[in-house]
Amino acid sequence: MGYIRLLLSIAGLCLLSACSGPNRLGSNNLGSNNLGAGINPNNSSTGSSHTVASSVMSKKTPLFTIRAVTQTTSASPADRLIALTFDDGPRPYVLFGSKAVRPAPGLIDILDQNGVKATFFVVGWRLTPKTWGEPRHEEDIGVTCIDAAEQLIRRGHELEDHTYSHLELRSAEKKNGEQWVMRDVDRGAQAIKAITGSQPQYVRPPDWIITSDARRDLEQQGYRVLTISSENPTALRDVNSLDYLCAGKAVGCPKPSLPDAVLQQVEQREKKGTFTHILAFHELSTTAAIMPRLISDLKARGYRFVTLTEYMKLVGSKPGETVKQAAVTRPTSVAALGR
């Protein structure tokens, strides 16, 4: 019996020695190699390539190359997200700043200074040679709308379709037929594609007015139609900023201020469990002026700004599908969010 116990002890020692031998050490080495690969500064990643490409773009960089880079995303589906959008441009005097008696800051620089990439729903007729805007209402600063659109792309923003004519589509359809509406949207898309090299994916009808038939047919062609209609899920429903009520001689600007009114809309959506928002503004000097404060306040609430393409990848679905939004933790205290 003693001899058998001695043999069992020797066998056990041999097994222990084998477990701590080369195989175990090899496993550790493999883990070290994987860790090293993860932190190797020479390794490329989607996020880093986006940042570097955006920071070194020059006027000579092909626009089509830039378009491909800016569509890259590494966002998390659980984020609080803002897709900041602007209609009715390009308006060079808004984007680059007025040179009038009271110079105004340029919207492009404001967005750059705040690290925000936005989506611009542009009007096709503006993207014609030598066009700089509407002479009766806009300031000529020596920059064409095409030059402004190209600069938007170089700086990492997106261009989407706000039709070619900027006419109210329901009335236009009643007068000219639905095919006229379809052609007007397509003409706007072709004007954008001539600059970006890519077919626009999204259409925002002027004043959000479009017939159900035209909307259905545009979606069948692959467009996403952005509206304020309850037909869209809340997360895909535009938030109308009402900023056009604050421009020029317009009356009815939201009180106590436009930024406060937009934040109130965001708060109301949060109370209903929605923490992702498409904010709809217009290319107006008065709108550009409030952007620094609004962006700061939204960031203080935990929001991150993304292009519409990124937003739809995280929140949206294919045309006609319903959306189930990812669960997001509510802010713990509205009072502590810094108005």
Nearest to 124 by CA among 145, 153, 99, 97: 145
Q: What is the pLDDT of residues 231-266, one digit of tens each?
A: 889 999 999 999 999 998 778 899 999 999 999 999
Q: pLDDT tier at 328 (50, 70, 90 boundaries)?
A: very low
**Strand, helix or coil for residue 160:** strand
| 65 within some domain | no
Q: Compute the distance between CA of residue 300 and CA of residue 274 in angstroms, rounded to an integer.
A: 17
Q: What is the pLDDT of residues 196-232, one digit of tens each?
A: 999 999 999 999 999 999 999 999 999 999 999 888 8
Place of tokens 């306040």: 297
| 218 within some domain | yes
Residue 274 CB-half CA count within 13 A? 20
Alpha-carbon 336 to chain mean position: 27
Contacts of 70 (CB under 8 A, 6+ apart): 50, 54, 117, 153, 156, 157, 158, 307
List the Cα angle 144/147/151 in 5-degree steps. 140
Give the count of beta carbons closer than 10 Å to the beta carbon of residue 180: 16
Q: Compute the distance between CA of residue 99 and CA of residue 173 in angstroms, rounded to an integer.
A: 39
Question: What's the token pair of residue 140?
Answer: 């000529």
Q: What is the pLDDT of residues 155-196, one digit of tens each?
A: 999 999 999 999 999 999 999 999 999 999 999 999 999 999
Least confident of 14-23, 183-192, 324-333: 324-333
pLDDT for the residue numbered 113: 96
| 332 within some domain | no
Give the count of beta carbons closer than 10 Å to the beta carbon of residue 11: 9
Q: Can you give the residue range of the structural domain that contains 276? A: 81-321
Q: What CATH number has the domain bearing residue 156?
A: 3.20.20.370
**DSSP symbol at 60:** T
- How many domains does the chain fold into? 1
| 122 within some domain | yes
Q: Compute the distance between CA of residue 218 and CA of residue 69 in angstroms, rounded to an integer.
A: 27
| 338 within some domain | no
Q: Compute the distance between CA of residue 171 and CA of residue 45 in angstroms, rounded to an integer.
A: 49
Q: What are phi and psi of 254, to 5 degrees?
A: -55, 145
| 23 within some domain | no
| 29 within some domain | no
Whether residue 26 has pLDDT greater than 70: no
Task: Quote the percentage of the chain above a pLDDT of 90.
Answer: 64
| 168 within some domain | yes
Burial bucket for residue 275 (CB in 10 Å: 0-12, 13-18, 19+): buried
